[in-house]
Amino acid sequence: MTLSPSRGSALSVHRTTVDDPLARPLLDELAREYVTRYGSASDLERYPSVEFAPPGGSFLLLLERGEPVAGGAYRQYDGSTAELKRIWTHSAHRRRGLARRVLHVLERDAADRGYGRIYLTTGPRQPEAKGLYLAAGYRPLFDLSADPESIGPLPFEKHLENPQP
């Protein structure tokens, strides 16, 4: 799948696995970011890679000229809900709408696999992620006026249109 060009180059979606060496630079940078913000990247080890593989899950990279610039995944949360994980844009490629593109592809893929709802959590020290999910139509399952540090992980949901049976 090729997405619309960005800055003169084509973006493509590469469906793969968490263990793909092409994903390593993004996942390593994500781990460093978690350590910087939270002191640990243990969340990245919480789920085995098989949970992000079909038929219940998906892992994808957004490539520009063959290089990974963003990525994300989902896993089965329950029978009708996919849980988004690992949404990440490489620091050199931010502010270009790439994370929103990853969200769109993951949402469409989840709907095609019959999921009717997406659930996710983001950390209280990730205001950029909170803003992204709000702008993309996700409903916060927490009090937006509360101090995020008093809540812990910030849960969101979005109901998908036209899930396939």
Q: What is the domain range of residue 59?
A: 2-159
Is residue 69 in a domain?
yes
Task: Categorize the per-residue pLDDT at 165 as very low, low, confident or very high, splitting at 50, 70 and 90.
Answer: low
Residue 90 has phi, psi (to 5 degrees) of -55, 140
Q: Is 64 helix (H, G, I), strand (E, B) or coil?
A: strand
Whole-number Å distance between alpha carbons of 43 and 38: 10
Could you tell me the sign of the dihedral formed by the alpha carbons of 108, 90, 97, 42, in that order?
positive
Residue 26 domain flag: yes
Distance, CA of 82 to CA of 62 (rounded, Å): 20
Is residue 165 domain-resident?
no
**pTM of the entire predicted model:** 0.88
Residues 97-139 have pLDDT tens digits of: 999 999 999 999 999 999 999 999 999 999 999 999 999 999 9
Instruction: Give the span between the Cα atoms of 105 and 35, in whole angstroms.
Output: 28
Examine the pLDDT at 1 and tell me if it is beyond 70.
no
Cβ neighbours of residue 73 under 8 Å, at least 6 residues apart?
A: 18, 52, 57, 58, 59, 60, 84, 85, 86, 87, 106
- Number of structural domains found in the chain: 1
8 pLDDT more than 80: no
Residue 54 belongs to some domain of the structure:
yes
**pLDDT on residue 93:** 92
**pLDDT confidence of 40, banded at 50, 70, 90?**
confident
Q: Give the CATH number of the domain where residue 10 resides.
A: 3.40.630.30
Tokens of 96: 């270009």
In a domain, 105, yes or no: yes
Is pLDDT at 3 greater than 50 in this prediction?
A: no
Residue 164 is assigned to a structural domain of this protein: no
